[in-house]
A and B are shown apart, each in its own frame.
Chain A
């Protein structure tokens, strides 16, 4: 589904990704782990299409499409979803309005009619119930005055509504209490299916107790230095990132 080949990416002139390659097939859950500054978030933003990041070499292919040619909104409509590490507060833009606009943008792209108001509300309430979110959040400004946990649940709500083919969740587990973590994990697990892929970018293996990954990759200094199955995450938790760095250098 997603093939990243030897990409190099810079922001403000400094190189963050230095020859990173990754293959994600449909049906798989990948976890990308690594210390702060290793390039995890850059990887997520490059796939989503943030214009501040410049890809200087390599390729990113998604379902045979050259992703780097597409605007962020085109990528979204093709089924890519990025869960933000720091979801943006947008006062004055109603959460329901955003959800509906996003859903309709995708439906239009697929040649479908806009969702009607009743169907939309039913769907939104169903997904909110799964995530333990109060329906009143629909009528608030997007992330406006939300707590950290509420913002992350809201990201998962958007994902659940949009049903992406490829979801990249950037540190969605950070700063969550155990209830919120479980709710987020439930949202992610509900999305798992043979025709979807999920990439979890995370600093800790805590989330992986709830969402079991098929593959775990460790990122260091802009490239993947080690890949393995879920036991790698546990080993990492046990031995720390220095172990990976040493292994990579040695």
Chain B
């Protein structure tokens, strides 16, 4: 198979056409990096099951079509109390930034001379085409009383559309903040959104982070979330993949100071024609520290899912406690999941565990519910919902639970209909 190739001349022209700003130098060096390394292909181990050549095609079509980005106002999810900042088609909505909660500073990356660290294999692609991005800082000991919302909204009206989002978040020591990243899209055109987020949690600081991906069924996204934890820092993260066509997310957690605790996980609901890939990697560089992850997937029709969880306990990281699990429920014979836990341990005094399961709905439980008068479809809905609830219960931000449950119920109905129940 040929490696997906970007049209470089068109790409270089598009990069040069971006407004001159503090990002100009970073874009040019990213372009060179991209020219050297190319886009990830299925011959790379980490991309074996997720072929992004269709996304490269969308990018080439977008470049050929003049590479304009439609910017439309999007509405934050109703009922979610948060300080919403909107990034529509990769353009930061200036008006959504102010007024900021006390203790929070937001800087546009275009306004500062930024040397951006490349986040992941698609980081250079992100930086090269980045229109603008955000740097969000939370001051020392600040405790935010409501979440900061990042509404990543894209509209693809017709033809091809590509957008890049970059957000750097920094929590100073002792601060507490929560974040909701809501990824949505609309329009009948082809869309490829590429999102890169870096979250640095300072000493004794705590971050709650929820990612809700509810893209239109014909739209695509790749995402990279890099998270650094300081001494005694705490992360509670949960992700919910409900929509999209080809979705890939990399969550990379770096524990470089003792006492850190990272809890993360996600739920993916995948139907016919969808492909959802969650790759995680946690590096335990020092101990003691804790990482716990649990991912669950429900797959129907000819859905394809990928979960790859890597935990590396580096030499000397004694006192590491790392736990990972992945459970999958297949609602049809033709649904597919590639699940792979990976543990690499180079320290002596560690506690590590992993578990992966793939199964169908419990026939006996289904029968039991039916003998109590429940329709077969209601019984199936009840059991699949119960399976999903374990992850909803992990969501660190309580107020979004009902919204999530409603979205999950609606999505499960669709999946069960696909399965013909």
Answer whether A71 and B370 are a contact pair too, CB < 8 Å, given A90-B383, A91-B386, A92-B385: yes
- Identify which of residues 16-62 in chain A touch chain B, using a CB-to-CB cut-off of 8 Å: 48-51
Q: Which of A81-89, A118-126, A184-192, A241-249 contacts B (4 or more CB under 8 A)?
A: A81-89
Other-chain contact of B368, A75, A84, A109 (Cβ < 8 Å)? A84
Whether B382 and A101, one on each chain, are in contact in the complex, defined by CB atoms closer than 8 angstroms, is: yes
Whether B370 and A93, one on each chain, are in contact in the complex, defined by CB atoms closer than 8 angstroms, is: no
Whether B365 and A88, one on each chain, are in contact in the complex, defined by CB atoms closer than 8 angstroms, is: yes
* A50, closest chain B residue (CB): B367
Whether A87 and B368, one on each chain, are in contact in the complex, defined by CB atoms closer than 8 angstroms, is: yes
CB distance from A212 to the nearest CB of B (A): 27
A105: B residues at CB distance < 8 A: 372-375, 378
Whether A102 and B365, one on each chain, are in contact in the complex, defined by CB atoms closer than 8 angstroms, is: no
A75: B residues at CB distance < 8 A: 371
The proximity string for B residues 370-410 relative to A, scoring 1 for CB distances below 8 Å and 0 otherwise, is 11111110110011011101100000000000000000000
Whether B390 and A73, one on each chain, are in contact in the complex, defined by CB atoms closer than 8 angstroms, is: no
Answer whether A101 and B374 are a contact pair too, CB < 8 Å, given A92-B385, A93-B386: yes
Whether B383 and A72, one on each chain, are in contact in the complex, defined by CB atoms closer than 8 angstroms, is: no
Interface size on B, residues (CB 8 A): 22
Interface flag for A223 (CB, 8 Å): no
Bound-state CA distance A227–B372 (Å) is: 30
Contact-residue bracket for chain A: 20 to 34
Interface flag for A152 (CB, 8 Å): no
Whether B389 and A92, one on each chain, are in contact in the complex, defined by CB atoms closer than 8 angstroms, is: yes
Bound-state CA distance A88–B367 (Å) is: 9
Interface flag for A77 (CB, 8 Å): yes
Whether A101 and B378, one on each chain, are in contact in the complex, defined by CB atoms closer than 8 angstroms, is: yes
Whether B374 and A93, one on each chain, are in contact in the complex, defined by CB atoms closer than 8 angstroms, is: no
A81: B residues at CB distance < 8 A: 371
A98: B residues at CB distance < 8 A: 369, 372, 382
Bound-state CA distance A115–B379 (Å) is: 19
A158: B residues at CB distance < 8 A: 372
A101: B residues at CB distance < 8 A: 372-374, 378, 382
The proximity string for A residues 202-221 relative to B, scoring 1 for CB distances below 8 Å and 0 otherwise, is 00000000000000000000
B375: A residues at CB distance < 8 A: 73, 105
Interface flag for B364 (CB, 8 Å): yes
Whether A76 and B370, one on each chain, are in contact in the complex, defined by CB atoms closer than 8 angstroms, is: yes
* A89, closest chain B residue (CB): B365
Bound-state CA distance A82–B372 (Å) is: 8
CB distance from A59 to the nearest CB of B (A): 21
CB distance from B327 to the nearest CB of A (A): 12
A92: B residues at CB distance < 8 A: 385-387, 389-390
The proximity string for A residues 145-179 relative to B, scoring 1 for CB distances below 8 Å and 0 otherwise, is 00000000000001000100000000000000000
B371: A residues at CB distance < 8 A: 48-49, 72-73, 75-76, 81-82, 84
Bound-state CA distance A77–B370 (Å) is: 10
Bound-state CA distance A109–B379 (Å) is: 16
CB distance from A110 to the nearest CB of B (A): 11
B378: A residues at CB distance < 8 A: 101, 105
* A48, closest chain B residue (CB): B371
B369: A residues at CB distance < 8 A: 90, 93, 98
CB distance from A209 to the nearest CB of B (A): 28
* A109, closest chain B residue (CB): B373
Whether A88 and B368, one on each chain, are in contact in the complex, defined by CB atoms closer than 8 angstroms, is: yes
Bound-state CA distance A98–B155 (Å) is: 41
- Identify which of residues 61-111 in chain B touch chain A, using a CB-to-CB cut-off of 8 Å: none
- Identify which of residues 129-179 in chain B touch chain A, using a CB-to-CB cut-off of 8 Å: none
Other-chain contact of A93, B364, B367, B373, B383 (Cβ < 8 Å)? B383
Whether A102 and B390, one on each chain, are in contact in the complex, defined by CB atoms closer than 8 angstroms, is: no
Whether B386 and A102, one on each chain, are in contact in the complex, defined by CB atoms closer than 8 angstroms, is: no
Interface flag for A127 (CB, 8 Å): no
CB distance from B64 to the nearest CB of A (A): 49
Other-chain contact of B382, A77, A87, A93 (Cβ < 8 Å)? A93
* B390, closest chain A residue (CB): A92
CB distance from B349 to the nearest CB of A (A): 33
A8: B residues at CB distance < 8 A: none
A-B contact pairs, 12 of them (CB 8 A): A72-B371, A73-B379, A75-B371, A76-B373, A82-B371, A84-B368, A88-B364, A92-B387, A93-B386, A101-B374, A102-B374, A109-B373
In order of increasing CB-CB distance, the 3 nearest A-B pairs are A92-B386, A105-B373, A76-B373
Interface residues, chain B, with chain A CB atoms under 8 Å away: 362, 364-365, 367-376, 378-379, 382-383, 385-387, 389-390
